[in-house]
């Protein structure tokens, strides 16, 4: 939303009024309240016939300040509201001081100073020690706007004919970059972009995204969370090149500024505000295989897939039944298609008993088709969203006559959870919560009539995924619940995990997916996946194999397609050579399995810190390297492994190594950064580099499945380590077992926690054994 036409003119049809003065500054509990007229007040007469904005700045936690701008305070502030500080609000002490520099409010490590001159509108945000300037609100940065522009204030007697906006503009420093805002598939640095935070089913090749998160991170060491689920429109250096503009329709706008100073500390404080990532069980890190979307399958097909995967060296940990486990026109009624699956409980039991998979997932969504068994009861009982005239809200987009579960109705939620329990009774362990983006906002009446329909559009993702996640927790335990969710908003990191939605089977779409995963990770989400091979279309073998290498280095790895299968032998006519799809998938699956001691330990760090496991943006580990803020074709896996996917059929790739020594996992070649490097790879390798001073624990070779004893028969590899280098080992339950540390002699100090036939040494993976040992 642009309110101006360039520097000098107001946009056509707009009336814009800016806070010009800080007329009074009033101390209140935990903060300051600023009365800001929209023109300079130089005489008593100037206080008449003008609007004011109230700006409330409060200390909310160490390193966190909230800022709220309000025009008319009498406007209702209808829910839903984000659940903030879900684990409990930390105590904080607001410190207010005055000097010739102005009035300063301090909240731990962050402070805000209001300029002492009433007529100089300047609110700065900085570190409490004054050494770091973060951003500021300067002249013409806080305001309100009407559309269309009223010709007289008398017209605002009836606001039904006008739209009213509140906006803030924070300054952008020279060279400052902006990242996050959810799973965005466009340019990694958002400066120069117009962004609308509005969940939509737009695939991965458009500016529409499934997961809009009103949080962004700056390269200057701070982040901003916009505290509203309503539609937020942002101009990030795109209306004024030196400012980030945030606007909402309404009478108030509240946001939080979070100081790091490092990006990891920003994410940690943000995770306290909106919730830490939920824990994910070790089995979820294994290979997932789906039936794909519109493909034809039955029990025999499922068995043949799993048997074929096992025979080709890629055993499946989780098998997923996509939509057509139910009959056409009946989604979602929670009833297995009796013709294709006459004995679903028995089939699932047999699959697990045979060892062909460990867990089973099925596809669900909150849309209830008119022709399914669930619709009649849900409609009769009032469990579906209604129109204002009392009709059930329905349309024919996606499913014929579908309704939408009214997530504000506690009885509807209880009914939906009962439906899920019936699936759990059949042996279902995890749920893919698809859709939830196309939530209507007009001509709707929610069961809870106090909610704002516009806010419900984005918030629905939170409420729906929370409902399903908590049903899983109740059945299987707090740390065993796993979703595969497509839509999300702030706080949904509490309900892992998420995947990247409908991508095409192209190199460009793979790059889009990388950018989406990086951006979501910088929005507080710990775990993420993408459809290996691409969802839409038919991937050529080289795309499939390059995507396999990328996908098995994501925190979670799933093979999934739309109208074609993703089992490897269907991609290349069952090429059984070393360069074929089946052998390539087997190698990368084996590598991820061996990495599980490292990955699962790093996963626990992600849960506690709010930092993503993989894809982890380079800037999180190397914030002082300016290049790291622009790297969108590579990522960190935890804090010690760097991976660069390959997007060329030829295997050529260019990547960047930050300062220090980096050892190729596959060849043991040591490169020294900072610098750009070019390599060429077959399908069995890619640039996978280990950071110096790393103690890397690998599971034993030939290990099958993601769940095993991560201390038994392991290989401990030391990469350019110095005394004091250490790593933490966890059990398959995620609990800490102990720490391995390098002593003064360059070897491990204590190895009591290791069991069986384990080994250690400098860079134990040799180039001639790179995959033979897997």
- Tell me how many degrees the CA angle 314-320-324 measures, rounded to the nearest 5: 135
Sign of torsion over alpha carbons 694, 700, 703, 705: negative
Nearest-angstrom CA–CA distance, 177 and 511: 20
CB atoms within 10 A of CB 479: 16
Based on the residue annotation, tell me whether 502 is a catalytic residue of this protein: yes
Query: DSSP per residue over 123-150, as a string?
Result: EEEEETTSS-EEEEE-TT-EEEEEESPP
Q: How far apart are CA 315 and CA 64, in angstroms?
A: 47
Alpha helices in 522-553 (DSSP H): 541-551
Q: Which helix (H) or strand (E) holds 658?
A: strand 652-664
**The one catalytic residue among 437, 454, 512, 531:** 437
> Which of 517, 539, 635, 633 is CA-nearest to residue 584?
539
CA dist 550 and 464 (Å) reads: 30
Angle 298-303-308 from CA coordinates, rounded to 5°:
130
d(CA 706, CA 273): 32
**Strand runs labelled E in 553-602:** 557-559
CA separation for the pair 650, 682 (Å, rounded): 8
CB-based contacts of 603, cutoff 8 Å, min separation 6 = 279, 280, 285, 526, 527, 555, 613, 734
Q: Name the packing angle between helices 581-594 and 596-609 (round to 10°).
A: 60
Known catalytic membership, residue 434: yes
Which of these is catalytic: 183, 322, 333, 502?
Answer: 502
Neighbours of 131 (CB within 10 A): 8
Q: Copy the structure tokens of residue 263.
A: 């990006």
Query: Which entry of 20, 21, 233, 434 is annotated as an active-site residue?
Result: 434
> Coil, strand or helix: which one is 196?
strand
Residue where the block lists tokens 């991609």: 571
Residues 6+ apart with CB under 8 A from 343: none
Contacts of 439 (CB under 8 A, 6+ apart): 199, 404, 456, 457, 458, 460
Which tokens is 147 given? 């559309």
CA dihedral defined by 767, 771, 773, 774, rounded to 10 degrees?
140
> Catalytic amino acids?
434, 437, 502
């Amino acid at each position: 939303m642009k309110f101006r036409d360039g520097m000098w003119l107001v946009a056509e049809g707009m009336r814009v009024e800016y806070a010009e003065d800080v007329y009074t500054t009033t101390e209140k509990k935990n903060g300051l309240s600023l009365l800001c007229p929209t023109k300079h007040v130089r005489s008593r007469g100037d206080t008449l016939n003008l609007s004011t904005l109230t700006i409330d700045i409060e200390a909310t936690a160490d390193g966190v300040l909230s800022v709220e701008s309000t025009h008319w305070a009498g406007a209702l502030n209808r829910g839903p509201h984000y659940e903030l500080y879900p684990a409990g609000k930390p105590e904080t002490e607001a410190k207010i001081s005055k000097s010739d520099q102005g009035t300063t409010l301090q909240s731990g490590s962050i402070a805000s100073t209001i300029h002492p001159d009433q007529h100089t509108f300047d609110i700065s945000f900085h570190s409490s020690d004054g050494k770091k300037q973060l951003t500021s609100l300067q002249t013409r940065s806080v305001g309100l706007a009407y559309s269309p522009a009223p010709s007289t204030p008398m017209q605002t007697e009836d606001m039904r004919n006008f739209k009213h906006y509140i906006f803030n503009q924070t300054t952008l420093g020279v060279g400052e970059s902006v990242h996050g805002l959810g799973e965005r598939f466009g340019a990694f640095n958002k400066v120069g972009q117009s962004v609308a935070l509005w969940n939509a089913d737009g695939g991965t090749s458009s500016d529409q995204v499934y997961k809009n998160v009103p949080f962004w991170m700056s390269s200057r060491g701070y982040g901003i969370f916009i505290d509203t689920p309503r539609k937020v429109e942002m101009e990030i250096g795109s209306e004024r090149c030196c400012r980030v503009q945030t606007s909402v329709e309404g009478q108030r706008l509240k946001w939080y500024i979070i100081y790091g100073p490092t990006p990891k500390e920003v994410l940690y404080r943000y995770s306290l505000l909106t919730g830490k990532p939920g824990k994910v069980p070790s089995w979820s890190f294994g290979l997932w295989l789906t039936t794909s979307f519109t493909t034809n399958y039955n029990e025999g097909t499922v068995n043949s897939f799993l048997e074929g995967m096992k025979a080709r060296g890629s055993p499946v940990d989780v098998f997923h039944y996509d939509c057509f486990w139910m009959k056409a026109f009946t989604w979602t009624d929670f009833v297995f298609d009796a013709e294709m699956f006459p004995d679903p409980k028995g089939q699932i039991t047999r699959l697990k008993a045979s060892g062909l998979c460990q867990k089973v997932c099925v596809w669900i969504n909150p849309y209830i088709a008119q022709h399914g068994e669930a619709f009649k009861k849900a409609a009769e009982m009032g469990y579906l969203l209604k129109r204002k005239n009392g009709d059930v809200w329905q349309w024919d987009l996606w499913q014929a006559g579908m309704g939408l579960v009214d997530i504000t109705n506690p009885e509807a939620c209880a009914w939906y959870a009962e439906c899920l329990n019936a699936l759990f009774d059949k042996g279902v362990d995890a749920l893919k919560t698809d859709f939830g983006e196309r939530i209507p906002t007009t001509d709707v009446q929610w069961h809870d009539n106090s909610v704002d329909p516009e806010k419900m559009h984005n918030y629905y993702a939170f409420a729906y995924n929370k409902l399903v996640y908590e049903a899983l927790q109740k059945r299987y335990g707090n740390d065993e619940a796993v979703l595969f969710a497509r839509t999300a908003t702030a706080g949904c990191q509490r309900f892992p995990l998420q995947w990247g939605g409908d991508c095409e089977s192209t190199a460009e779409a793979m790059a889009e997916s990388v950018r989406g995963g990086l951006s979501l990770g910088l929005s507080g989400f710990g775990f993420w996946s993408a459809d290996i091979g691409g969802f839409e279309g038919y991937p050529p073998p080289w795309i499939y194999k390059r995507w396999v290498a990328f996908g098995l280095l994501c925190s979670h790895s799933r093979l999934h397609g739309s109208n074609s299968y993703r089992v490897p032998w269907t991609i290349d006519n069952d090429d059984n050579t070393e360069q074929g799809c089946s052998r390539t998938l087997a190698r990368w699956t084996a590598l991820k399995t061996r990495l599980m001691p490292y990955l699962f330990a790093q996963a626990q760090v992600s849960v506690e810190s709010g930092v993503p496991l993989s894809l982890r943006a380079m800037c999180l580990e190397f914030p002082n390297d300016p290049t790291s803020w622009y790297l969108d074709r590579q990522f960190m896996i935890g804090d010690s492994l760097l991976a660069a996917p390959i997007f060329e059929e030829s295997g050529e790739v260019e990547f960047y190594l930050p300062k220090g020594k980096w050892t190729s996992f596959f060849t043991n070649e040591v490169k020294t950064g900072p610098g750009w490097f070019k390599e060429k790879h077959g399908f069995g390798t890619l640039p996978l580099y280990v950071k110096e001073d790393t103690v890397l624990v690998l599971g034993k070779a030939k290990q099958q499945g993601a769940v095993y004893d991560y201390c038994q028969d392991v290989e401990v590899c030391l990469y350019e380590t110095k005394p004091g280098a250490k790593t933490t080992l966890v059990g398959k339950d995620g609990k800490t077992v102990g720490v391995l540390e390098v002593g003064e002699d360059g070897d491990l100090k204590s190895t009591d926690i290791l069991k069986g036939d384990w080994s250690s040494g400098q860079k134990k993976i040799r180039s001639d054994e790179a995959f033979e040992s897997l």
